[in-house]
Amino acid sequence: MVSPLLSLRGISKSYGPVYANQQIDLDVAARSIHAILGENGAGKSTLMKLIYGVEQPDSGTVAWNGQTLSLASPAEARRAGIGMVFQHFSLFESLTVVENIRLIVPGKKSELAQRIRKLGHEFGLEVDPFAHVHSLSVGERQRVEIIRCLMTDPKLLILDEPTAVLPPQAVEKLFDTLRRLRDGGVSILFISHKLEEIQSLCDRATILRGGRVTGHVDPREHDAHELARMMIGRAMTEPMPALPLAKGEKRLELVGLDYQADPLAVPLSKVSLAVRAGEILGIAGISGNGQSELEALISGETLLPRDQRDRIFMMGRDVGILDSAARRRLGFAFVPEDRLGRGAVPEMSLAYNSLLTAHPQNLVKHGLLDMVRATAFTNDCIRDYDVRTRGPGAEAGSLSGGNLQKFIVGREIMLAPKLLFLAQPTWGVDIGAAAAIRRRLMSLRNDGMAILVISEELEELFELSDFIQVLHHGTLSPPLVTRDTNPEEIGRYMIGSKPQREKATA
């Protein structure tokens, strides 16, 4: 018998009375790609942190190449040959890409910049080495994390949702790279909620539920429905069908929008779109093509200059110079892609995070917070959206990424808006919860809500959207009728290899 590269026996970790991991046994073979499957809150992220030295187990043993290993920090893990790309990034926003990487990888800036460009081109993870992190989109920041990890030459690479922000063309390229790394002697622990990816890439899978291992399987021998049932312990619900489109009123309209935040930002050029009551418009595109700039302009976080009126309309009103609070008073709600920092304040409780956007819902009286109502609102959100947490008093930063996303999405939907804008609505959310969110969005659409979705999950856009437009280098394609197009055509728009042509009008 060949000894596994990594072996865990009886690993347990608790936080107060809550067990994140209980008696975990796991073997990762050399030259393998091993998936970790589970719902949000199943204990996946905690287990990876234990392997990477961020946290230490309460009990159990870790063996590395047959030798007992005790890691007190990520630095020790990297020296042992373990690298990790986190779902929530660990970059300094005031530093450039190359400066962030230089904190871990020794070398001159010019040499590191050359390696960054080379790896980015090879893996389809292009990023400017000299760009400041604060100017990068979420997707671009993840590229930096992946490149930084690869530059440490790991023997075990832990990847947490690495394809969440990649277009279809880049995913297979990344998979080819991971297979080459595996064949070259690198083992990979792969966390993804995309079961098709796990079936395509991984040779083993360990399933977690409620902090315990419930099975070890070869994912290639099971279909996606079987794997989903093993993860969530029940059969998946069918997607809600879309009712026929009724030509509703325009609740969001952008007309020939031109904008550039700064000389280094992606300029938006002649961006036009319309979202009507009772329809969902999906915006596809590779991260870094102007999504962040478009989000900020629609949400009101960035205001247009006063000489650029008649560019953004909500509910029939020109809102170009109205701030986010004024737009929300018109019936607008927003779920940003960056859930920690923009969608929620990590150090505040869920109840106080509810107040950030739900305070008009009778949660404030005569200028005083009504915490009884705020707590009730939060409890309703936790219950209705299956947020796995100890209660409304839990800090937002203590939740797993997927559970925090469910809370933010639920909070905004509970405001009963006329126009709902979601950026990456199911990023990092497990398959069961993602299906529930999409089903809820379809129900809202059928009830007459206008919904705009920016997503890099093409499968999600095809399931949800009545129309799809593609953002490439700050330019928006004509609206494509979803039922009349396909992922390959959308993918060509995403990389700019196809002349834009109008197939349909909103």
Say if CB 232 and CB 432 are below 8 A apart. Answer: yes
Say if CB 478 and CB 469 are below 8 A apart. Answer: yes
Tell which residue, 427, 479, 456, 460, has the closest CA to residue 168.
Answer: 456
204 Rama sector, left if φ>0, alpha if ψ -120 to 50, beta otherwise: beta
**What is the structure's pLDDT at 138?**
65
**What is the structure's pLDDT at 504?**
41
Four-point Cα dihedral 136, 138, 144, 150, nearest 10: -170
**Length of the chain in terms of residues written:** 506
Tell which residue, 477, 484, 442, has the closest CA to residue 463.
Answer: 442
Give the tens place of pLDDT for each residue, 64-84: 999 999 999 999 999 999 999
Strand partners, 452: 281, 421
Q: What residue segments make up the domains of the chain, in order of their start?
A: 6-232, 267-331+419-506, 343-416
Say if CB 365 and CB 357 are below 8 A apart. Answer: no
**What pTM, to 2 d.p., does this model score?**
0.70
**What is the structure's pLDDT at 240?**
64
Give the CATH class of 6-232. alpha beta
Say if CB 433 and CB 441 are below 8 A apart. Answer: no
77 Rama sector, left if φ>0, alpha if ψ -120 to 50, beta otherwise: alpha
Tell me how far CA of residue 190 lies from CA of 144, 193, 223, in angstroms: 18, 10, 18
All residue ranges of the chain with pLDDT < 50 are 499-506
Based on its alpha-carbon atoms, the radius of gyration of the chain, rounded to whole angstroms, reads 23
Say if CB 350 and CB 378 are below 8 A apart. Answer: yes
**What is the structure's pLDDT at 236?**
58
**What is the structure's pLDDT at 407?**
95
**What is the structure's pLDDT at 506?**
41
Q: What architecture does CATH give domain 267-331+419-506? A: 3-Layer(aba) Sandwich (3.40)
**What is the structure's pLDDT at 280?**
96
Say if CB 489 and CB 465 are below 8 A apart. Answer: no
Give the tens place of pLDDT for each residue, 419-477: 999 998 987 777 778 888 999 999 999 999 999 999 988 888 999 999 999 999 899 99
SS (H, E, C) 236-305: CCCCCCCCCCCCCCEEEEEEEEEECCCCCCCCEEEEEEEEECCCEEEEECCCCCCHHHHHHHHHCCCCCC
State the DSSP H helix or E strand holding residue 50, giving kind and residue range, or none if neither: helix 44-52
Same fold flag, 6-232 and 267-331+419-506? yes
